[in-house]
């Protein structure tokens, strides 16, 4: 298993103390439409940070549960689907035991197969409840038996069809609907009903019943009293039959709703404190990767490091905490002043410079340079990027490293990526949304980034918005520019901050991390 950061919300325990184990299978087989399912475990974990651990509807808190996030299964890049699934099965079997509740983050639907292969031998009467829009029962799809459209067919290779309950399907291929299985409850006979009614039948006291006539499914009416029957319509709040009304009693607590005093500033973002809170993500994995590169690839001991386009210093501060002598460069005076206060508060000192990354100088040369969060993207032409590379080479000592990350377009039809999350510090809540690779110009390779920060504190709402142009470079183009700039030799590149994932052997990379060395 590979450690990940951030972990799923509420997973605060070590594996040895957990009863519920969260883990990811970043698997994606052959795809005929949009790709990206292998990024699912990461995106789910990031999304989980935007919600609270407490559910007022259930009066339960995730932090009261014995939960651990043990990371992701490591899958062999470029291997056939069955070989990747075998790798996942072996890793799950190495840690799972009866009494542990596994909670898997996918991955396309086929990621279910190795999980069932591990669990089924321990539960002879294992029943599977499948809620989906599609049956996923094709024998093969796109020439592959282990495919998202064949996931449940492969599950039924392990668990007999008599113990698989499929509910709520609204469409599929003819072969999927004609396949014999006793517990198939598609959406179309249910009309104005809801799958929850069928699920109630399948709770322990009713799990062994034979299938009802489709016309007698709970919630079904042959002749609706009024209105028009809609195929697959789901009634709001029908889940309360199982969970109860999440709103509780209808009485109103308090006579007047909270009115936020809004100070909306639709202008360039200029609030370092809010930015620092919003982007106070768990950067430990990224800094671990940087230290790994310093130790493995540098031809000199790395003691002094410059963080280019350092912003509020998420990486600079963590490297300073690890004993590196840090310098920081940023175009924003407010960021540099804010970062100076942060360094002083932690007892650190460093050279902080307000300047342009295409032409700057430091009082002393450094052993390594970093430029994180695709900050090179602000350089909108090859000439600017060449000037930047020459400037960085000038401040580095011979044998020192330059490590930076860049976006990679993993899709041509819809490359845009969007993230939303929230952070709380004291009484201040910061909600952030960020999107990149919008409106890509395929000739100039320039795209638009958008960021919004919403801050709510003591009833006052502040809104900051920023939009600016950025530019992507393609991997081979970047190598050519590095050679043209002179001063550096190419060392290696990776997908994300993962030393084991070399870029060439990675499917659909979103971010490339590049390591250069000063000649």
Average pLDDT over residues 209-223: 40
What pLDDT digit, counting tens, does each position of 353-385 carry? 999 999 999 999 999 999 999 999 999 999 999
What pLDDT digit, counting tens, does each position of 97-154 carry? 988 999 999 888 999 999 999 999 988 889 999 888 888 998 888 888 898 889 999 9
Beta bridge partners of 68: 21
Average pLDDT over residues 212-235: 41
132-136, 176-180, 254-258, 304-308, range with greatest mean pLDDT = 304-308
DSSP calls for 114-164: HHHHHHGGG-TT--EEEE-SS----S-BTTBSSSGGGHHHHHTTTS-GGGE
pLDDT tops 70 at residue 40: yes
- The answer, yes or no, to whether the previous bond of 107 is cis (omega within 30 of 0) is yes
Residue 84's pLDDT is 92
Residue 479's pLDDT is 95
Question: How many angstroms separate the CA atoms of 464 and 453, rounded?
Answer: 5
Q: Compute the C-alpha angle 398/400/403, nearest 5°.
A: 145
pLDDT tops 50 at residue 437: yes
Residue 220 CA from chain centroid, whole number:
39
- Structural domains in the chain, CATH included, are 15-238 (3.40.800.10), 272-409+473-518 (3.40.50.150)
Residue 317's pLDDT is 94
Nearest to 127 by CA among 193, 56, 208, 214: 208
Residue 226's pLDDT is 43
pLDDT tops 90 at residue 230: no
209 φψ region: left (φ > 0), alpha (ψ -120 to 50), beta (else) = beta
Higher pLDDT, 217 or 438: 438
pLDDT tops 60 at residue 277: yes
pTM score over 0.75: no
Asked if 26 and 506 count as a contact pair (C-beta separation under 8 A), the reply is: no
Residue 192's pLDDT is 46
Question: How many angstroms separate the CA atoms of 400 and 370, rounded?
Answer: 11
What pLDDT digit, counting tens, does each position of 169-212 carry? 888 888 888 877 778 877 765 544 555 665 665 555 544 443 33
Residue 197's pLDDT is 64
Least confident span in 155-164, 210-219, 351-360, 425-434: 210-219
Least confident span in 34-38, 323-327, 382-386: 34-38
Q: Which two tokens stand for residue 149?
A: 């459209």
Residue 198's pLDDT is 58
* Greatest distance between any 2 Cα atoms in the chain: 83
β-strand pairing of 460-471 with 20-25: unpaired
Residue 473's pLDDT is 92
Asked if 74 and 87 count as a contact pair (C-beta separation under 8 A), the reply is: yes
Instruction: Indicate the SS3 state at residue 54.
Output: strand
Mean pLDDT score across all residues of the chain: 82
Least confident span in 74-83, 194-203, 218-227, 267-276: 218-227
Q: How crowded is residue 400: how many other Cβ atoms within 10 Å of its Cβ?
A: 25
- The answer, yes or no, to whether the previous bond of 258 is cis (omega within 30 of 0) is no
Which are the contacts of 453, defined by CB distance < 8 A and separation ≥ 6? 269, 271, 274, 275, 278, 430, 431, 432, 463, 464, 465
Residue 251's pLDDT is 34
Question: How many angstroms separate the CA atoms of 162 and 179, rounded?
Answer: 13
What pLDDT digit, counting tens, does each position of 51-76 carry? 888 888 888 888 888 899 999 999 98
Asked if 328 and 306 count as a contact pair (C-beta separation under 8 A), the reply is: yes
């Amino acid at each position: 298993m590979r450690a990940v950061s951030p972990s799923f919300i509420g997973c605060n325990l070590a594996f040895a103390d957990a009863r519920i184990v969260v883990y990811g299978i970043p698997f994606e087989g052959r795809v005929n439409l949009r790709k990206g399912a292998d990024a699912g475990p990461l995106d789910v974990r990031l999304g989980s940070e935007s919600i609270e651990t407490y559910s007022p509807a259930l009066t339960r808190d995730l932090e009261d549960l014995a939960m651990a996030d043990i990371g992701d299964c490591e899958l062999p890049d470029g291997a056939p689907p069955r070989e990747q699934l075998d790798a996942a099965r072996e890793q799950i079997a190495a840690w799972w035991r009866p009494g542990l509740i596994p909670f898997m983050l996918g991955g396309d639907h086929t990621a279910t197969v190795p999980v069932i292969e591990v669990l089924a031998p321990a539960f002879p009467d294992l029943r599977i409840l499948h809620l989906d829009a599609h049956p996923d029962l094709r024998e093969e799809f796109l020439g592959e038996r282990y495919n998202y459209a064949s996931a449940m067919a492969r599950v039924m290779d392990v668990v007999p069809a008599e113990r698989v309950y499929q509910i709520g399907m609204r469409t599929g291929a003819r072969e999927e609907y004609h396949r014999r299985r006793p517990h198939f409850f598609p959406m179309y006979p249910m009309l104005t009903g809801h799958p929850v009614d069928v699920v109630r039948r399948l709770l322990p006291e009713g799990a062994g019943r034979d299938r009802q006539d489709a016309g007698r499914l709970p919630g079904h009416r042959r002749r609706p009293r009024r209105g028009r029957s809609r195929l697959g319509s789901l009634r709001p709040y029908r889940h309360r039959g199982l969970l109860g009304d999440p709103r509780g009693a209808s009485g109103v607590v308090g006579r007047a709703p909270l009115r936020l005093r809004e100070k909306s500033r639709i202008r360039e973002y200029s609030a370092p404190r809010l930015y620092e809170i919003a982007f106070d993500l768990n950067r430990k994995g990224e800094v671990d990767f940087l230290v790994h590169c310093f130790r493995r690839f540098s031809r000199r001991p790395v003691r002094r490091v410059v963080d280019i386009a350092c912003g509020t210093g998420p990486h600079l501060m963590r490297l300073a905490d690890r004993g590196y002598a840090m310098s920081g460069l940023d175009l924003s005076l407010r960021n540099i002043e804010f970062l100076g206060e942060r360094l002083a508060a932690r007892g650190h000192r460093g050279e902080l410079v307000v300047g342009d990354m295409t032409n700057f100088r430091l009082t002393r040369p450094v052993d390594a340079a970093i430029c994180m969060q695709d900050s090179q993207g602000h350089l909108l032409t090859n000439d600017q990027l060449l000037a930047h590379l020459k400037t960085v080479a000038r401040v580095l000592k011979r044998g020192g490293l330059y490590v930076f990350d860049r976006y990679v377009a993993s899709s041509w039809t819809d490359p845009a990526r969007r993230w939303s999350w929230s952070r709380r510090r004291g009484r201040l809540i910061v909600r952030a949304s960020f999107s990149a690779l919008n409106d890509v110009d395929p000739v100039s390779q320039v795209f638009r980034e958008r960021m919004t920060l919403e801050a709510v504190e003591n009833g006052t709402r502040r809104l900051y918005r920023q939009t600016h142009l950025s530019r992507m470079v393609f991997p081979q183009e970047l190598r050519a520019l590095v050679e043209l700039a002179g001063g550096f030799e190419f060392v290696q590149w990776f997908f994300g901050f993962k030393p084991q994932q070399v870029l060439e052997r990675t499917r659909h990379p979103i971010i490339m991390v590049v390591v250069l060395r000063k000649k």
